[in-house]
Chain A
Amino acid sequence: MAVCIAVIAKENYPLYIRSVPSQNELKFHYTVHTSLDVVEEKVSAVGKSLGDQRELYLGLLYPTEDYKVYGYVTNSKVKFVIVVDSSNTSLRDNEIRSMFRKLHNSFTDVMCNPFYNPGDPIQSKAFNGIVSGMMVQTG
């Protein structure tokens, strides 16, 4: 289960970011922010090649001593980042993929809300609920 989940706008500012409350929130912000380097590089590398059909799931972005950071980019260049504890070895790639898919579906619902203005921070309760379900349950 994730320790931090973030949604990043096309212009690379955060639309939604949530981490397990017990730990240093700022650190996760930095982790997500720095992972955008890899996301950008991966996205631009794909853009150059012929295949228009890009896989949205970017896989493991980079490993740190403590965390694994996974990335996902929608076709409208909105990025999802999931941070997982390195010690959590039970998580398979498939599970991460399905988490991203779930997140994407829920994000699509948010976008479909006529009262949501794209580019504004996400405050949807439904979205929050989905994210909570994917986070490590503490206490």
Chain B
Amino acid sequence: MAGSQWEHPPELCCRPMAFVALTGLDVVYNAVHRAIWDAFCANRRADRVPISFKVLPGDHEYPKCRTKRTSYEWYIPKGILKTGWMNKHLNLVPALVVLFYELDWDDPQWKEKQSECATRVEIVRTSLQGRNTKVAVVLIQKKTPLPPGEDLVASEKASALCGSCDLSGKSLFVLPHTDHLVGYIIRLENAFYEHAQTYYYTEIRRVKSHKEFLNKTTHQLLFVRHQFKMAFLSELKQDTQNALKYYRAAHSLVHELRAHETNMLEIKTMAGFISYKICRLCFQHNTPLDAIAQFRKHIDLCKKKIGCAELAFEHSAWMSKQFQSFGELFDEAIKLGLTAIQTQNPGFYYQQAACYSQERKQMAQQLCQAGMTYPSPDPLDTQSGGLDFYGQRPWRQGHQSIDPTDPEKEKMGILALQIKERDVPHSELIIALLSNAVAQFKKYKCPRMKSHLMVQMGEEYYHAKDYTKALKLLDYVMCDYRTERWWPLLTAILTTALRCAYLMASVKDYIIYCMELLGRASTLKEEQKSRIEKNLFKVLMNKVPEAESECDPSSVSAARSLWSDRTALSGSNELTVEMQDYIPFIQCKARFQSPSFHVDQPIQLQVFLRADCPHPVSFSKLTVSLSNQEYNQWCVAESSGEESMTLLPGKPKRYNFSFVAKTEDVGKKVEMTGVEMMLGSDSGRCVFLSWRGAGGDAASTQEALQASRSSRRWGRGTEARQELDWDSLTLQHSTMIISRVPKICVQLSHQPPVLTNEMYCIILTVQSQEEAVAKDVKLTAGLKPGQEAGLGQTTHVTLDGSSVCDDNAPALLTDLPLGDLKPGEKLEKCVYMRCVSTGPRVFLFHVAYSIDTAVEGRHIVCKCHKDETVSVETVVPFEVSVKFVSTKFEPLERVAVDIPFLLMTDILSSSPWPLLLSSSSLQLLTITSNTAQLQSQLQQVVLQTGESASECFCLRCPPGTNNNNTVATGQYVISWRRKSSSADGPVIQTTATLPHVILESVPLYVYADLPSFGRVRESLPVRYHIDNRTAQVQEVEIAVDPSDAFMFSGLKQVHLRVLPGTEQQMLYNYYPLMAGYQTLPQLNISLPHCPTSSSTALRRFLPQRIFVKPQGRQPDDASITAA
């Protein structure tokens, strides 16, 4: 590759390692030797010493050492650094030669072998005449050696061998060929490494010692050379700190050299090498900032050292290489763990390298004229095929004076270099560097930098005439610039892309780029736009467009023929361009007039078009496609005959469409799926501009936002303006088709709230206000769906109000046919609701009908409906409370068996409407009524709000029921209805469950027969009954306490027996003395044999008090006696 003269030589870029030559190993035929060699070279990981090993034959000829100079007095150096020097020390001159020899201590032919070994050592020594290279001997032995000092024979023989080979004891090694080969090898190479280090140390000393012979006037070059050599040898010694020091010294020395045109290249080349090494070592020492600083310094020093003006491209090439190799070093360091940042990453260096390569290309184009013939003989030819010194000219090697020796030769040389430069694939180099940079910037989050570089790559591909690749890249980044709205940049990219498309004769791309360059985002001048528009029309008419400016003339003629081939081709003259990805020169905004239309209205749709190009555009067809394709036929505008549709520049134009929706589409959305506009004609080329949805392109969203901002600021001013304001036009891409507005009146009348369980009547009145007959009127009534889940089970709807509906009635009656309704006719319907539970409910009344109507001359059957909802609360009509009391109206905790007691019921109305209680009844369990015929006391009672109705029943628990048990007592059923409801309406029965009671049995039952009142000083007979309820004879003691209010006659204290199941009667005659409520004399009853039942327990059955009326006043005697 032609660019390779700028590449750094591989020996510069590698990591220098001590060179050790191994001889006496037959790695091809001897398995043992092969194994030893493998152990040396395999698995050279970082933990092993850095040595590069090479197997050489025993009689290998090492490079000859020139005789050492004793004086530099007459020596004039010919250059800075010989091209072969680094390689020589890396690969040719070993630091140590190791001779492998198979010899056991107890070898029978020890003497002969010893002398053979000595001979071999001698051969190596001769070949290394004059060098300081060390020699070492390794004896390959089959036996494991004894520990040192134990084997006397061995040590004796070893010293003998050393003596005959003239080796120090430290240079003789034994390698037993046993199991632990690798271990031995590692020990061996560590020893070799020490020897090598000593070698390089002495070499550095040797080079350093030259310094004193040098003088500053003639030996400047040698100062640099020696510093470089010491640095390189230090690197071989793995002494990188010192190496860095020497390199730095070399770097300052190289810049002290007198620079002139003839040696500029040499100085720059060496400066580049040294700087490369410094940066490399800095990265290795993990001081990246030092590396960057060094590189900056290096660049700043060399930037202006252009050298020969005719070969200025060489400087750019060299600069490019400097940046590239630094970028590579940086990248490598990152791979080894360095972290880079967004603003300091290898990408910048690759980018700059690319930049210099571009400069190189430009200079090469300027300086290298075509048509020159390559000079003969080739001035670039050297006898050796290469250069002696780095950075010199082949035609004057070793020449160090200021003026070139031979001006003619110089001229030829420059010409040869220029001609060579012409063949360099510059674009390839630039693209490679750019793509490296792109990869880096991608990594360090620089999307815009990446795009910028990709544009450059695309442009470079364009220059390299690879238009397909160029377009691919440009197309890719265009989108970014479009979304970021950097119009000048987008225009520049589009212009390049248009050239590519033209040169490739790619019709579709050409049309697209033309459209966008004509659009509002393009920053092109009017006359350019005008030219492009004309070209576009040519293409539309299937003609060849004019060439783009700034195109290579030879490419233009090739493109012309491509275009004429294209135009000659028949068929496939139609193409569709999706507009929303671009900012085309025709803008489109479509909208439905309203977000919803009634089915009996025509749907109106407007398409606004605007051309931004300098000349009028005519087109032949405009179509809108809708989600329901049946409507598409109504949304087509076509140019008819001569009259074509034309858009004037900058003038928005409106196209109206309208159509009648289908009745099936009621409740559905109609969406615009696209707007398509046809440019060109069938005879030429047809281009369909297709907008998705309701138009709009890549920039219109932002524009709409901006317009809304400004209109917000300026209030409603824009609406008042007569002229159409394009920016404030908004898209309306869908519309809802809704049913026709019903012209009926639905009224509900009812009396809330609903009372639980009643048949609640809602009267629905439907009156038609239509002008035609409303057909198929249907009613859906009931609980509105979507309410609380349980309501459906506790609500029942029926039309039959004559009886209480059962639980099977549905919660919603659907589609009850109500027949037809003539204009003005009225219809009434009662719907009954039964709500079992309380709480709020929403009832829905949905009246649907169909009607014939005409829209724009078309007859359609419209379905209309009207919904009425009503929300009602359900409440309980009344509250029922029940209690058991004794015959003395005292609350009862327990009910004694076979003793009468009372049941009190209380009905408290909570209904706002008067209630009519038609009857009530008891359904008793366990207990029975004390009276034969139970008759309701509440029949036909009317309860107003807050009023209550009570009943009282005398009951008895029949004997023989289980004692001490809680028993159910039955239910209380109340039949009622609203007072306002009709008399033949159903009666609702509400059941209240009576409370449970606890039963007990009493052994003795005492009760008294006494009149309801007494009168002062009139005898009051009282009969006490004592009833033995047990199976035993009961002894009873009865005593009567005296009372102030009464005198009495009868037994004051008595002891008697009551037989089982019989009763004893006691008769007393009380004589009241005082009027009013008086306490009766206490009857103390005690059962001496049954102490559990106390007197007080029995006394609760007996009356405590009686009302005594005052003495009746006789008109005759009382007043007279008083008088």
Contact = CB atoms under 8 A, between A and B. Distances in A.
Interface of A: 11-14, 25-26, 29-30, 33-34, 36-38, 41, 61-62, 64-65, 114, 117-120
A134 B422 CA distance: 44
Interface in B675-720: 702, 705-706, 709-710, 713
Interface stretch (B480-488, B937-945, B984-992, B1009-1017): B480-488
A37 B480 CA distance: 13
Contacts of A14: 485-486
B486 A29 contact: yes
Contact of B342 (A12, A29, A38, A120): A38
A48 B486 CA distance: 28
Given A26-B492, A30-B455, 14 more contacts: A11-B485, A13-B485, A26-B488, A29-B486, A33-B448, A34-B449, A37-B445, A38-B446, A41-B342, A65-B352, A65-B355, A117-B709, A119-B705, A120-B710
Most buried by B among A26, A37, A38: A37
Interface string B453-464: 001000000000
A110 to B, nearest CB: 15
A65 B488 CA distance: 24
A14 B487 CA distance: 9
B710 A117 contact: yes
A34 B489 contact: no
Contact of A119 (B445, B455, B488, B709): B709
Contacts of A62: 343, 348
B709 A118 contact: yes
Nearest to A26: B492
Contacts of B449: 34, 37
A12, A25, A34, A38 pick with most chain B CB within 10 angstroms: A34
B602 interface: no
Nearest to B356: A65
Interface magnitude class on chain B: 20 to 34
B887 to A, nearest CB: 86
Interface in B352-386: 352, 355
A106 B713 CA distance: 22
A61 B343 CA distance: 7
A-B complex: 7 closest residue pairs judged by Cβ atoms? A13-B485, A37-B446, A117-B710, A34-B449, A62-B343, A34-B448, A37-B448
B448 A36 contact: yes
A85 to B, nearest CB: 15
Nearest to B355: A65
A18 to B, nearest CB: 12
Contacts of B448: 33-34, 36-37
Contacts of A33: 448, 452, 484, 486, 489
A41 B445 contact: yes
A23 to B, nearest CB: 14
Interface in B321-356: 342-343, 348, 352, 355
B57 interface: no
Interface string B465-503: 000000000000000000011101100100000000000
7 contacts: A11-B485, A12-B485, A26-B488, A34-B452, A37-B449, A62-B343, A120-B710
B447 interface: yes
Contacts of B709: 117-119
Nearest to A31: B452
Nearest to A39: B448
Contacts of A29: 486, 488-489
A13 B448 CA distance: 12
B244 to A, nearest CB: 26
A34 B446 contact: yes
B706 A119 contact: yes
- The secondary-structure label for the interface of chain A is mixed
A79 B165 CA distance: 81
Contacts of B447: 37
A37 to B, nearest CB: 4
A40 to B, nearest CB: 9
B527 to A, nearest CB: 19
A33 B483 CA distance: 13
A11 B447 CA distance: 15
Nearest to A17: B488
Interface string B507-539: 000000000000000000000000000000000
Given A26-B488, A37-B342, A120 B706 contact: yes
B452 A13 contact: no
A29 B455 CA distance: 13
Contacts of A119: 705-706, 709
B354 to A, nearest CB: 12
Contacts of A25: 488
A25 B486 CA distance: 13
A133 to B, nearest CB: 24
Contacts of B702: 11
A104 B257 CA distance: 51
Nearest to A45: B342
A11 B705 CA distance: 12
B489 A117 contact: no
A30 B710 contact: no
Given A11-B702, A61-B343, A62-B343, A117 B713 contact: yes
A119 B485 CA distance: 12
A63 B492 CA distance: 25
A12 B482 CA distance: 11
A55 B706 CA distance: 29
A117 B710 CA distance: 6
Given A14-B486, A65-B352, A30 B452 contact: yes
Nearest to B296: A63
A13 B486 contact: yes
A48 B447 CA distance: 21
A36 B705 CA distance: 23
Contacts of B455: 30
Nearest to B319: A65
Nearest to A28: B488
Nearest to A36: B448
Contacts of B492: 26
B823 to A, nearest CB: 57
A11 B484 CA distance: 7
A22 B72 CA distance: 56
Contacts of A34: 446, 448-449, 452
Contacts of A120: 706, 710
A100 B310 CA distance: 44
A30 B343 contact: no
Interface string B276-297: 0000000000000000000000
A97 to B, nearest CB: 19
Nearest to B456: A30
Given A29-B489, A33-B452, A117-B713, A13 B342 contact: no
Contacts of A118: 709
A46 to B, nearest CB: 14
Contacts of B352: 64-65
Nearest to A35: B448
Contacts of B488: 25-26, 29
B241 to A, nearest CB: 30
A33 B342 CA distance: 15
A28 B325 CA distance: 27
Nearest to A44: B445
Residue of B342, B352, B706, B710 with highest tally of chain A CB at under 10 A: B342
Contacts of A37: 342, 445-449
Interface string B983-1009: 000000000000000000000000000
A17 B447 CA distance: 21
A113 B1033 CA distance: 120
Nearest to A114: B713
A37 B448 CA distance: 6
A119 B703 CA distance: 10
A91 B486 CA distance: 29
A36 B445 CA distance: 11
Nearest to B351: A64
Nearest to A12: B484
A139 B588 CA distance: 47
